Amino acid sequence: MEKVKSEMVRVEHQMSEKLKEKVDLEIARVAHEMKHKLKIEIVAMVVAGEIVGIWTSLSV
């Protein structure tokens, strides 16, 4: 019986470690994706700002 308990603890520990690894990988993936999208949005805002700046300088 003690051997079975010991094996269960070992398997639980392995499962916990694998789950933690998967969660960490998913968090890293989502963070990378968010940074990429944020960079695109910042570039779009800068371009839009430059267009507005050029437009207003041509209009005056």
CA dihedral 10, 15, 16, 22 (to 10 degrees): 150
**Three-state DSSP state, 1:** coil
Task: Report the distance separating Cα 60 and Cα 54, nearest Å.
Answer: 10
CA distances from 7 to 12, 15, 27 (A): 9, 12, 30
pLDDT band at 60 (very low <50, low <70, confident <90, very high): low
34-45: pLDDT as tens digits: 999 999 999 999
CA distances from 32 to 37, 42, 55 (A): 9, 15, 35
